[in-house]
């Protein structure tokens, strides 16, 4: 229940920030263009809080936190006094109307840069992309990738950490080959080409790395317990953080994988664990939990191990000064923009399945996880969602900012507005498309948690 409430709270905070930023863009440029803004609302439905500003704008926080809007004076929907006609949105020049509409997505991109800038100013800890295990006869193995190799670039993009590796790998979905540059432990650089014609990647079941047949390096696990899950079989058996597993059912264990193998193969059974706790031997009975996996019913204990220390130089912090940090933030924002556009294109061509679409439930889970890791990770999450919000709003679908801009572009080319009848039908079709896309995304969300 706590995890649910935490994710819900983080989602509301994240969405509230991003909606406020987006709508403020419309509001600010509209005011600068001399348009009267009648209402600035965060959320829809019944107002929970409202205040009338000295500028004549009503500011509202509404009950349904799934969006927001800026309502401007407009003769097409309002009765406008003659003295206020010059302040109506529809009476503005084409350039001003386009600027007002484009300002929302534009400010989303600016916000992403600022969020990442702050993240880099605080500093974010990350891990050098050194390859761990290689799955035999996998795409990675056939490309001669080896354990201990460091991935330095993918295509033309340098990869300093695993986050950048994942981003660049995803950009090659649907391609026949994947160019990878690696640095050997000797220091020599090598160019590898992954044959990805048969690459099958299901983001609901595995990472891009594991689908190619390799995992990141991480220090070896010890037999000491690093974490005990709340309500898990381990916690019910009074297994504690810091306990060291010595034996399972009287059989001495030498490494963590020995414990994993026994636990997974004995779901629902009662086992006896011998533990070393503060230099004292403790024996406890535990009933192994059961859960479904792709391989059938598996046992679980609900613990994770402590790990050996990281080798020197493997963990580092991205931390930059004001100017360099701003440049890094702008560069990463641009990469997120181009990658988002690539993914939309791959959805249209079928290279990326519609199963990869995520809705509000997945976003809420992402908000909760990132907030749990700390402020810098939450800032990174906000930047990613802000970029996606900006891109989606620029799609040329009526009902979205991009649809309005499409109509204005036609007006710019033809010299006359798109007829109201055509616009009305466009809004209906755009609404149906948006409803279909959101339905698929929500269905995917529900499928992931059931």
Closest CA to 183 of 226, 139, 203, 153: 153
Give domain limits for the chain.
96-123+321-450, 125-215+313-318, 221-307
Q: How confident is the model at residue 359 (pLDDT cuts 50, 70, 90)?
A: low
In the set 23, 269, 274, 276, the catalytic residue is 23
Q: What is the pLDDT of residue 100?
A: 95
Proportion of the chain above pLDDT 70, given as a percent: 92
Active site residue 23: yes
What is the pLDDT of the chain when averaged over all its residues? 87
Cα separation, 112 vs 384, whole angstroms: 7
Cα separation, 73 vs 408, whole angstroms: 18
Closest CA to 394 of 382, 411, 406, 412: 406
Cα separation, 139 vs 440, whole angstroms: 31
Cα separation, 448 vs 435, whole angstroms: 20
Q: What is the pLDDT of residue 113?
A: 97
Structure token pair of residue 171: 């950009």
Position 362 pLDDT exceeds 70: no
Reduced to 3 states (helix: H, G, I; strand: E, B; else coil), residue 207 is coil
CA distances 251 to 126, 238, 261, 262, 274, Å, are 38, 21, 13, 10, 9
Proportion of the chain above pLDDT 90, given as a percent: 46
Q: How confident is the model at residue 189 (pLDDT cuts 50, 70, 90)?
A: very high
Correct CATH for 221-307 of 2.70.70.10, 3.40.718.10, 2.30.42.10, 3.40.50.300:
2.30.42.10
Whether 163 contacts 249, CB under 8 Å = no
Correct CATH for 125-215+313-318 of 3.40.50.300, 2.40.30.20, 2.30.42.10, 2.40.50.100:
2.30.42.10
The mean-pLDDT minimum among 209-213, 412-416, 427-431, 437-441 falls in 437-441
**What's the pTM?**
0.83
> Do the domains 221-307 and 125-215+313-318 match in fold?
yes
Burial class (CB within 10 angstroms; exposed 0-12, middle 13-18, buried 19+) of 442: middle
Backbone angles phi, psi at 43, to 5 degrees: 95, 170
Q: State the alpha helices, DSSP H only, in 58-161.
A: 94-122, 139-142
Whole-angstrom Cα Rg for the chain: 27
Taking residues 216-233, report their average pLDDT. 90
Closest CA to 67 of 28, 6, 12, 4: 12
Structure token pair of residue 445: 């969300």
């Amino acid at each position: 229940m706590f995890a649910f409430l935490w994710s819900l709270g983080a989602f509301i905070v994240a969405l509230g920030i991003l909606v406020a930023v987006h709508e403020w863009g419309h509001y600010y440029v509209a005011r600068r263009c001399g348009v009267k803004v009648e209402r600035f609302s965060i959320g829809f439905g019944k107002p929970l809080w409202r205040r009338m500003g000295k500028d004549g704008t009503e500011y509202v926080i509404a009950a349904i936190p799934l969006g927001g809007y800026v309502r401007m004076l407009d003769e097409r929907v309002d009765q406008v006094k003659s003295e206020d006609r010059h302040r109506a949105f529809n009476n503005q020049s084409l350039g001003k109307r386009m600027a007002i509409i484009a300002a929302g997505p534009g400010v989303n991109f600016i916000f992403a840069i600022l969020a990442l800038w702050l993240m880099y100013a605080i500093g974010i800890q990350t891990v050098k992309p050194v390859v761990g295990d290689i799955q035999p006869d996998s795409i990675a193995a056939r490309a001669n990738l080896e354990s201990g190799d460091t991935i330095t670039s993918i295509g033309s993009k340098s990869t300093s950490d695993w986050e950048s590796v994942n981003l660049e790998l995803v950009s090659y979905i649907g391609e026949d080959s994947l160019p990878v540059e690696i640095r050997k432990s000797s220091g020599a650089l090598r160019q590898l080409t992954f044959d990805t014609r048969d690459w099958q990647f299901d983001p609901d079941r595995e990472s891009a790395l594991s689908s190619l047949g390799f995992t990141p390096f991480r220090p070896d696990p010890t037999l000491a317990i690093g974490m005990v899950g709340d309500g898990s079989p381990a916690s019910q058996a009074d297994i504690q953080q810091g306990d060291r597993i010595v034996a399972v059912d009287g059989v001495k264990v030498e490494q963590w994988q020995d414990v994993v193998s026994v636990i997974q193969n004995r779901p629902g059974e009662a086992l006896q664990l011998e533990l070393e706790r503060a230099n004292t031997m403790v024996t406890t009975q535990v009933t192994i939990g059961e859960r479904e996996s792709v391989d059938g019913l598996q046992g679980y204990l609900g613990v994770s191990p402590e790990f050996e220390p990281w080798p020197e130089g493997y963990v580092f912090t991205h931390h930059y000064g004001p100017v360099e940090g701003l440049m890094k933030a702008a560069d990463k924002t641009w990469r997120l923009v181009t990658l988002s556009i690539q993914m939309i294109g791959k959805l249209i061509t079928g290279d990326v399945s519609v199963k990869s679409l995520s809705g509000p439930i997945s976003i809420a889970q992402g908000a909760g996880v990132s907030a749990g890791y700390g402020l810098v990770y939450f800032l990174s999450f906000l930047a990613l969602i802000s970029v996606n919000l900006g891109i989606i709003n620029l799609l040329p679908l009526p009902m979205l900012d991009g649809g309005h801009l499409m109509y204005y572009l036609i007006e710019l080319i033809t010299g006359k507005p798109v007829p109201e009848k055509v616009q009305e039908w466009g809004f209906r079709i755009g609404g149906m498309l948006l409803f279909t896309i959101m339905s698929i995304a929500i269905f995917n969300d529900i499928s992931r948690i059931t």
